[in-house]
Amino acid sequence: MTTAATLTPPARPAIRPGAWSPWWMALLGAAAAFSGTGSATLNGDELATLSAARRSLAGMWELALGIDGHFLPYYLFMHFWIMAGESELWLRLPSALAIGAAAWFLADLGRRLHSVRAGVFGAAVFAILPSVSYFGAFARSYAFAAAAVVLSFWALHRALERPAAAGRWVLYGVAVALVCCTHLFAVLVLPAHLALARRGVVLRMLGALAAGGVPAVVLGVIGFGERHAISWIPQRGPEVWLRFPKMAAGTEVFGAVLFALAVAGAVLLWARRRETAWALALAGWLVLPPLLLLAVSHLVTPAYVDRYLFVTAPALALLAGLAVAALPRFPVAAGVAVVLLGCALSGPDHVDVREENGRFENIPWALRVIRAEPDDAIVYGQSQLRTGFDYYADALMPVDVLRSGDEPSPDGFGYPERDDVAAAIEGRERVWVVWRGSKQAGLEGDAVPRVAEVARAGFEPALVKHSADLPGLTVALFERR
């Protein structure tokens, strides 16, 4: 006999509260990043990515042995990615997707540490940061590094939640390896993981760290042999820490507000007895990278560059989200207020990073300045500028009189050139010279030797324009005296 019970369909598993929150935050983060992908023009670093990715696999290996060896995993990825296209949007899309992934894991990590609203607030703050809009629309590996770092903390939380599950430690080791492969200095966050080591898991944790850290050792050895590639970085002092909130957030006033909230978030997390170790870990995520990078700069070689520390931005946002979510009254209203305040305070910075010159190297502007006549010549102050001019030029260009090959150098991004500048421009009446840097750098010193060589060949500047922001580009028209 059929009973009512047998006719009752099995109950569906309840949807976990907030299950969709990470996906909405991922969409928000990716959309915020993608909104800037087609505005600012590609700069020299992004064009270096394009130059590297266009090479054969053997060619990329040869390049890695000469320069940018620690970027090899990213270049390999981009090598296959650009098989589908080389437009600005397509080159930058992976970074926008990486920001979306970072927002997803950040939202879920906040839920695990405190509540759904803590994860939502943290990921929402992360998504509205101008630094996220900048690096999420940047064809370099910095967004990948941020995503890998968030994944590593998320995977570690899951492993500590069920330490007997071997698969979770494998995932944690893979996440650590991804951190090491995305950017060499991203590994500076990994010591913060040690705050979570405890009896019973320390061996598993150290084993996963050691296995995942193998790429860092390999790439670190390669990078140490290529220190000349960052010889342009000046030595920094402790004063750089005053700029740290602005660097992480990409905006000055809201960055200071977030840093204050982040300190409060760490203190509040510390006050919860079960989360003391996590308070130390998140605080280490935020402050250890700048401290350790400055130490590397003084002990090994100058290496302190703000963009190397973008991996701290998720920690800044998450700790701020935890602080707001922990308010005893009206946390939702406070969270909305913080996000709206951030949008208002950082609005001008968002506009700046989305301008055509938002990456401070505006080649389309330089092409508009150049009004070439049929017999004009062009000389590049830095030969690697050709990659960008070849990419953007769509009209008559002056004759590239120094070019002696169509492919960049196997061990770098420059191009082979003739050495006899005077002979190359003999018989020309007008020579356009383009260089990276200010007017003074090229006209009043020996920082750009090609400019001086053109002047010695009997030419004088008739027109000099700079693209406004440093380093920027300078375009000069030299006419025969």
Question: What residue segments make up the domains of the chain, in order of their start?
Answer: 21-354, 363-480
- Does residue 312 surpass a pLDDT of 80? yes
Return the pLDDT at 203: 95
From CA 393, how far away is CA 380, in angstroms rounded?
Answer: 14
Burial of 30 (0-12, 13-18, 19+ CB in 10 A): buried
Of residues 400, 404, 407, the one with CA closest to residue 431: 400
Closest CA to 397 of 376, 412, 413, 418: 376
Confidence of residue 11 (pLDDT cuts 50, 70, 90): very low
pTM of structure: 0.93
Residues whose CB falls within 8 Å of the CB of residue 197, separated by 6 or more in sequence, listed in order: 205, 206
pLDDT-derived band at 28, boundaries 50, 70, 90 = very high
Question: So what's the pLDDT on residue 17?
Answer: 56
Query: Where is average pLDDT lowest: 12-26, 106-120, 371-385?
Result: 12-26
Q: Would you state the pLDDT for residue 461?
A: 95
C-beta separation of 290 from 309 below 8 A: yes
User: pLDDT tens for residues 260-309?
Assistant: 999 999 999 898 877 899 999 999 999 999 999 999 999 999 999 999 99
Q: State the Cα–Cα distance between residues 356 and 40, nearest whole angstrom.
A: 4
Question: Does residue 10 have a pLDDT over 50?
Answer: no
- Give the per-residue pLDDT at 223: 84
Question: What CA–CA distance (Å, rounded) separates 177 from 186?
Answer: 11
Q: Which pLDDT tens digit goes with each residue over 320-339?
A: 999 999 998 889 999 999 99
Q: Residue 9: pLDDT above 70?
A: no
Residue 396 pLDDT? 84
pLDDT attached to residue 241? 87
Task: Note the pLDDT of residue 18.
Answer: 64
DSSP code, position 417: B
The average pLDDT across 365-376 equals: 93
Distance from C-alpha of 355 to C-alpha of 190, rounded to nearest angstrom: 35
For the ranges 148-157, 186-195, 350-359, which has the lowest average pLDDT? 350-359
Q: Is the pLDDT of residue 348 over 70?
A: yes
Q: State the pLDDT at residue 13.
A: 46
pLDDT at 229: 82
* Mean per-residue pLDDT over the chain, rounded: 92
Identify which has the larger pLDDT, 5 or 416: 416
Residue 5 above 60 pLDDT? no
| Helix-helix angle 202-212:214-224, to 10 degrees | 40
* % of the chain surpassing 70 pLDDT: 96
Residue 273 burial (CB < 10 Å; 0-12/13-18/19+)?
exposed
